[in-house]
Chain A
Amino acid sequence: MRALITLCLIGLMASWTASAADTVESINACMKANIPESLQVREFELTATDKAGGTRTLAGRLSARLDKGKLNAMMRITQPSDMRDAAYLVKESDAEGKDEEMYVYLPALQKVRRVTGGMKDSSLFGTDLSYSDVKQITYALSGNKLTLERTENLEGRPAWVLSMAPDPSGGARFDKVIAWIDQKSCMLMKADFQQAGAVRKRFASSAKYLAKSGPHWYITQGRIEDLQEKTSTLMRVTDLLSDKDLADRLFNPRAFYLGN
């Protein structure tokens, strides 16, 4: 879920144009400035396709906001029916170096549990992305280990090609990530996750899936492929609202799972 939230945040990079000089700092600033204070996705859909071609779809709603620069996000499942009302809450910790707190609510057990530890490297809902993968993009992109490799055209649009080498001590599964950032929207359009010199996973979207909510750009559709496992997950986002006032209870561990 955090992956989805983070991807949405990536997608919400504002339409701050790339008129500045092409430096890592300028690109970084462009992307950072695009993150809205809050957002609400009325409907998202994750369609996971396994090796045999079988698909499984999960749909839900997502609310997220930045609280003193820290991410708070809540997701509630609406489909399929046997998963309805299952909910996740992620709260980034204020303390330096401390992991995020994750709360999960399972309606069938009627229990809320705070989950800590190594969930960040695990597959999210049977999809092809882990929280760590996305975190590598977002945080590395906003961090200082970026290298501007080149610029090139992606689908006929100019794009910056950035590379980043995540810190292996942070438990990163990939030793290098290459990202293609659309110069017009400052949106991540493509990312290759490399391990031992080979691309293991790939995120890809298209300019035709770029949309705007107010001043903010976001991507309505993207696909993550696990090239090793030959599986993929298609993400669709519809009706995204940015800078919307969101109720506090949505991010309260004691109440996030109640009602809508």
Chain B
Amino acid sequence: MNAFQKLIELAARRPAIMLLLVLGVSIYSFLSVFELPGLVPRLKLDPSTETLLPQDDADRQVYERVRETFGDADAVLMSVRLDPMFTPENMARIDSLTRELRQVPGVKTVFSLGTAPNVLAQGEDLEVSTFTQQAARDPDAVKRFPEQIAANPIYRGVLVADDGVHTALAIGLDAEGESLFRRENYTKKFRETAERITGSDEVWLAGSPVVKAASTGAMLDTLRFSVPMIYGVAVLMLLLAFRSVRAMFAAIVTVTVALLWTAATAVNLGYSLNLVSIITPPLVITLGLAYAIHLLSDYFEQGAANAEERRARALHVMGRVGVGLVLAGATTIAGFLALMPNALPAIREFAVLSSIGVAYLFVLILLFLPALLDVMRCGRHVRVGRAAHAIERIADRIALFDIRWRQPIIWIALILVPLNLWLASGIPVGTDYIKSFREGNPVREQYEAINEIFNGANIVSVVIETHVNDALTDPELVRGIDELQSWLRDQPEVGQTISYVDHLKLLNQSLNSGDPAYFAVPDDAGAIKQLLVFAGGDDIRRVIDARFRSALITVRIKVGDSIEITHFIERVEKRLSQLQPPLNGAITGTPVLATRTVNAIGQGQWISLAIACVAIWALLALLFTSARAGLWALLPNLVPVSVYFGTLRLLDIPLNPTNSLIASIVLGVAVDDTVHFLTRFNREARATGSESKAVQAALRETLRPTTLTTVALCLGLLALTTSELRNQVQFGLLASFTLFLAWISELMLTPALGSRLRIVTLWDLLRLDLGQSPQHTIPLLSGLSLRQARVFALMSKMEKFKPGETVIRQGDFSRDMYVIVDGNLEVWIERGDDRKVLATLSRGAVMGEAGYFGQRRTANVSSVTPVRLLRFDSNDLERLRRRFPWIAATVFRNLNRVQAERLARATAMLQ
């Protein structure tokens, strides 16, 4: 604490040093975040869902293994409308398009009519050239293509849609292609190439790379818009609130520095911004703004004309705001860190990054902002406008309302929380990545068009593994896979499936002169292997490995909603468990991983939230030195969060990776306001001795910053509603709504609860000075520990008197008694004009007990030296009995002992 105090003093007395320190760290941070020359940002964006899962996750390992063995499953799907499709000219165009696409850097494979062999069996001849080659050689052959494709289960509905006028090209990318895809705008490039070569004006693109690129673009656009928008709102709010350009500038600089430091930390930790942690920058800005408003509110309460006054003010503000800021920062960090047990590294990264961001904010707002304000000579005069008076009047009315309707308010809160949590138990978990784009968005429209025309645009894979060489050439096992594929085709979500078994049956038929009777699995393992090895070609390598121990069934599904995919996955997994040994099956692919991720986030949500609540409660209990006080302090924050979940259920909005963060964020923000209110309430309650007055005073102080913060946060979050991604729009709306609820709760519930709480903060406990060993030198505190003695003192009222002041007046009615902490007092009565001193009291003495027991004061008590007294009445002792029964029992025992000794002395005097 001393070190912290020294730091505060350094910042107040040597602001330039603080500014230089921050400047140094900021330059380092800038160089960490941006690569020179060119200012290329080092902090990357990663919109993929598969990387959200942990490295050792079983599903991710299967996915990686499949990619490793069979190549990239996330191809770009291109659909080109050519009407009529089957002409030699259009075949030549498709061939040219295929060639040109293959020349694009990063393109690994192109599967199209230009590369797919059209196997034709005629007597002892087997023709294996592609459709386009056959068309070039024999233009008349084109006429037979529709029939040949319709008869081919591998190409039917895959290369050419059932409508006969749309052809598909599957463009496989390598690692370079994946990284180039968004940077070089391959979506546009591919489309323009296709339009130029084919002359078609209907070229559609879908597939994971397209969706990922569009999602990244939308995320970047949102960031590009929302961050300046939030800044704009912040500038406006600060100017309106404090009417000082310099204060606004200082706050904006402070928040920006915190953002820069946070970004640098992310780079140094090797993090990239993913679908979850993308929220961190707006969050740091908005929280920073909230903290800055709290500090500036106190800062502008007093003017400072010269350097000494400015330093004194800085010290005062730091000391006053510091407590609230420490508590608020600690609870917010606790809320974020509660996400750490989550299985998803992306959530953990978000928790770490946000916590670090809040810690930076805490340091900068407390130490840097006052130093900057000082250097800028900000706030020379107090500005109390009409608005301030109006706010005070409103605060007073709210306080009176809260006190008057205290019980109903608390009861409503107590009913709302369990009711909404019950509603929340039925919230579905899921998202639809395609439908997260707004209606009319080209990505969504084209995906839906391809999905409809080609009977599915989402590709999942069923991987079959045996761990036995050549096992997949065993006819019995091959038939088992064939049956599995038939079962898959019967599922309502499935549009198309392809496996090596299809290739095998086609090869068998082709090598038997095209006889349809041979479209079957050969009975001999040797025949299967020879067909696959000698006639298979490259297509086979994409669906079965070279050792014939693992194979891939490619499944096109027509659904994109993670809830529907979850049901499909569950059925497939159940079916896979029935495969005969040594066949082992697993379902994988980007949609599967995305679904698993969404489900993991949803399932982890409740655990994280529970941990967050427990962590925040524990912290509040520690800070307020009472489990019960912690629980009451938590209630105003639980209300908006629980209502938020209840609203989700009522509006039938599933929990998704983006909106699942709202609870944690609101909890973090709302706890700040609660802590700010309660610490001020505590200070005022101690100063005034009246809970009602303290509620009023605390609300006067906190209403403006709390309201400003809420308005700023809501406006900032509403900036997200301009996003192309519906999830982010939804996030902006729901988060604003929940923050608004938190604000209502903060104005209604927290004061209502505060009026019946006398809290003792840890800060108070650590700072309270009761002199040397109070438990040994003050008989009333005998048997207590130092902490317990301080708790008793804080539950009482500490009063100070100058020499000569009257503490107790003879004849008064008063129900409190005193214990002297330090100083000397005289007990005296008046005898005519004479003043007769009955006794001199010093540290540890108890006085005024007659009043405590309902009698008039029997003598006067005046201070001789500067005096500090602890004053308490029966209400204080009753509160102590309820909250700290052990301390109360000891104090009652000691009080009894003091009274007994006094009675014994009086009896002895009478005798």
Interface residues of chain A, those whose CB is within 8 Å of chain B, are 48, 50-52, 54, 56, 82-83, 86, 88, 104, 106-109, 111-119, 121-123, 125-126, 168, 171, 173, 175, 195-198, 228-229, 231
Residue B228 at the A interface, CB < 8 A?
Answer: no
Cα distance A159–B535 in the bound complex, in angstroms: 38
The minimal Cβ–Cβ distance linking A127 to chain B, given in whole angstroms, is: 9
In the bound complex, how far is the Cα of B106 from the Cα of A175, in angstroms? 15
Fill in one digit per residue for B81-120: 1 if any A CB lies within 8 Å of its CB, else 0: 0000000000000000001001111111000000001000
Partner of B133, one of A88, A113, A114, A117: A117
- Complex alpha-carbon distance, A114 and B134, angstroms: 17
| Complex A-B: 27 CB contacts under 8 Å | A48-B546, A50-B69, A50-B547, A52-B545, A54-B545, A54-B546, A82-B525, A86-B533, A106-B527, A108-B530, A111-B124, A113-B125, A113-B126, A114-B124, A116-B125, A117-B129, A117-B134, A118-B117, A118-B129, A118-B130, A119-B128, A122-B538, A123-B537, A126-B533, A126-B536, A168-B99, A173-B102
Do A107 and B530 touch (CB < 8 A)?
A: yes
Distance to closest chain B CB from A149 (angstroms): 22
In the bound complex, what is the Cα–Cα distance between A125 and B548 (angstroms)?
Answer: 13
Taking the closest CB of chain B, its distance from the CB of A79, in whole angstroms, is 12
Find A113's partner among B107, B108, B511, B538 (CB 8 Å cutoff).
Answer: B511
Q: Which residues of chain B are near A86, meaning CB under 8 Å?
A: 530, 533-534
Query: How far, in angstroms, from A228 to B69 measured CA to CA in the complex?
Result: 12
B130 touches A106 (CB 8 A): no
What residues of B have a CB within 8 angstroms of the CB of A109 in the complex? Answer: 511-512, 522, 527, 530-531
Give the CA-CA distance A114 to B125 in the complex, in Å. Answer: 5
B174 in the interface, Cβ–Cβ < 8 Å? yes
List residues 847-879 of chain B with CB under 8 A from any CB of chain A: none
Interface of chain B: mostly helix, strand, loop or mixed: mixed
Q: A118 to B133: give the CA distance in the assembly, Å.
A: 8
Asked whether B529 is an interface residue with its Cβ less than 8 Å from the other chain, the reply is yes
Which one, A111, A118, A195, A231, contacts B511 given CB within 8 A? A111
Contact of B535 among A56, A104, A173, A197 (CB under 8 A): A104
For residue A50, which residue of chain B has the nearest CB?
B546
> Given contacts A108-B522, A113-B124, A117-B127, could you give 12 more A-B pairs where the C-beta distance is less than 8 Å?
A54-B545, A106-B530, A109-B530, A113-B126, A115-B126, A115-B535, A118-B117, A118-B133, A122-B537, A168-B99, A196-B106, A229-B71
On whether the beta carbons of A108 and B524 are closer than 8 Å, the reply is yes
Q: Is B833's CB within 8 Å of the partner chain A?
A: no
Which A residues are CB-close (under 8 A) to B473? 82
- Which range contains the number of B residues in contact with the other chain? 35 or more
Per the bound structure, the CA–CA distance linking A83 and B526 in Å amounts to 7
Contacts of B545 in A (CB 8 A): 50, 52, 54
Does B470 interact with chain A (Cβ within 8 Å)? Answer: yes
User: Is B68 located at the chain interface by the 8 A CB criterion?
Assistant: yes
A11 smallest CB distance to B (angstroms): 24
The answer, yes or no, to whether B693 is at the interface (CB within 8 Å) is: no
* Chain B residues, CB < 8 A from A119: 128, 537
Give chain B nearest CB distance to A244 CB in angstroms. 27
Which of A108, A118, A122, A231 contacts B526 (CB under 8 A)?
A: A108
**B145 CB, min distance to chain A CBs, angstroms:** 15
Docked Cα-Cα span, A212 to B512, in Å, equals 44
User: B547: which A residues are within 8 A, CB to CB?
Assistant: 50, 54, 56
1/0 contact string of B439-455 vs chain A (CB within 8 Å): 00000000000000000
Q: Quick one: closest A residue to B526, CB to CB? A: A108
Quote the shortest CB–CB distance from B414 to chain A (angstroms): 60
A106→B511 contact, CB < 8 A: yes
CA distance A86 to B534 in the complex (A): 9
Chain B window 65-78, contacts with chain A (Cβ cutoff 8 Å), 1 for yes, 0 for no: 00011010000000
Q: Is B541 an interface residue (CB 8 A)?
A: yes
**What's the nearest-Cβ distance from chain B to residue A158, in Å?**
34
Evaluate whether A197 and B105 lie within 8 angstroms (CB atoms) in the complex, with A106-B534, A117-B133 already known: yes
Tell whether, in the assembled complex, residue A56 and residue B529 are in contact, meaning their CB atoms are under 8 Å apart. Answer: no
Interface flags, B459-490, vs A, CB<8A=1, else 0:
00000000001100100000000000000000
User: CA separation between A175 and B807, bound complex, in Å?
Assistant: 101
Chain A residue with minimal CB distance to B70? A51
Q: Is the CB of B68 within 8 A of A52?
A: yes
Nearest CB in chain A to that of B530: its residue? A106
Task: Tell me how far the C-beta of A193 lies from the nearest C-beta in chain B, rounded to whole angstroms.
Answer: 14
Report the Cα distance A40→B481, complex, angstroms: 42
Q: A108-B527, A112-B124, A228-B108 are in contact. Are A123 and B534 (CB under 8 A)?
A: no
List residues of chain B with CB within 8 A of the CB of A111: 124, 511-512
Given the known inter-chain contacts A109-B530, A125-B533, please indicate yes or no for A196 contacting B104, CB distance below 8 A.
yes
CA distance A118 to B102 in the complex (A): 17
Q: Is the CB of A123 within 8 A of B99?
A: no
A-contacting residues, B506-549, CB 8 Å: 511-512, 522, 524-527, 529-531, 533-538, 541, 545-547, 549
- C-alpha gap A243/B533 in the complex (Å): 31
Contact status A52-B69, CB under 8 Å? yes
CA of A11 to CA of B105 in the docked complex: distance in angstroms?
A: 33
Question: Can you list, as one digit per residue, whether each of B138-153 has a CB less than 8 Å from chain A (1) or not (0)?
Answer: 0000000000000000
CB distance from A100 to the nearest CB of B (A): 13
| Among candidates B117, B533, B538, residue contacting A117 with C-beta atoms closer than 8 Å | B117
Residues of chain A lying within 8 A (CB to CB) of residue B527: 106, 108-109
Cα A168 to Cα B102 in complex, Å, equals 12
Interface centre among A52, A119, A126, A198 (most CB of B within 10 A): A126
Bitwise, B399-443 to A at CB < 8 A (1) or not (0) is: 000000000000000000000000000000000000000000000
Measured in the bound complex, the distance between the Cα atoms of B130 and A121 in whole Å is: 11
- Residues of A near B69 (CB, < 8 A) are 50-52
Selected from B105, B534, B536, the residue in CB contact (under 8 A) with A196 is B105
Write out the residue numbers on chain B whose beta carbons fall within 8 Å of the beta carbon of A198. 105, 176
Per-residue 0/1 for B165-185: is the Cβ within 8 Å of any A Cβ (1 yes, 0 no)?
000000000101000000000
A-chain residues with CB within 8 Å of residue B538 when the two chains form the complex: 121-123
Contact among B125, B470, B511, B536 with A82 in the assembled complex (CB-CB below 8 Å): B470
Shortest CB-to-CB span from A185 to chain B, Å, is: 32
CA distance A196 to B176 in the complex (A): 12
With a cutoff of 8 Å between Cβ atoms, the chain B residues found around residue A54 in the complex are 545-547, 549
Contacts of A83 in B (CB 8 A): 526, 529-530, 533
Smallest distance from the beta carbon of A188 to chain B beta carbons, Å? 24
Please, which residues of chain B bring their CB within 8 A of the CB of A195?
A: 102-103
Contacts of B71 in A (CB 8 A): 229
9 smallest CB-CB distances across A and B, nearest first, come from A117-B129, A122-B537, A108-B527, A108-B526, A117-B128, A118-B129, A126-B546, A106-B530, A82-B526
CA distance A52 to B541 in the complex (A): 14
Contact A196 B103 (CB under 8 A): yes
| Residue pair B126, A116 in contact (C-beta under 8 Å) | yes
For the complex, what is the distance from the CA of A112 to the CA of B545, rounded to whole Å?
26
Asked whether, in the complex, the Cβ of A115 is within 8 Å of the Cβ of B530, the reply is no
Give complex CA distance A56, B133 in Å.
32
Closest beta carbon of chain B to A174's beta carbon, Å:
10
Instruction: Give every chain A residue within 8 A of B531 (Cβ-Cβ).
Output: 106, 109
Question: How far does the Cβ of A20 sit from chain B's closest Cβ, in whole Å?
Answer: 37
Query: Measured between C-beta atoms, what is the minimum distance from A206 to chain B in Å?
Result: 25
Complex formed: what's the CA distance from A185 to B534 in Å? 34
Q: Complex formed: what's the CA distance from A114 to B123 in Å?
A: 9
Query: A56 vs B401: C-alpha distance in the bound complex, in angstroms?
Result: 83
Residue of A nearest to B99 (CB): A168
The answer for the CA separation of A88 and B545 in the assembled complex, in Å, is 23
Which residues from B are CB-within-8-Å of A112?
A: 124
A121 to B526, CA, bound (A): 25
Query: How far, in angstroms, from A195 to B108 measured CA to CA in the complex?
Result: 10
Closest partner residue, chain B, to A84 (CB atom): B526
Residues of B within 8 A of A116 (CB): 125-129
Cα separation A111 to B108 with both chains bound (whole Å): 35
Report the separation of the CA atoms of residues A241 and B757 in the bound assembly, to the nearest whole angstrom. Answer: 102
CB distance from A216 to the nearest CB of B (A): 30
Closest B residue, CB atoms, query A81: B526
Residue of B with least CB distance to A99? B129
In the complex formed, the residue of B with least CB distance to A173 is: B102
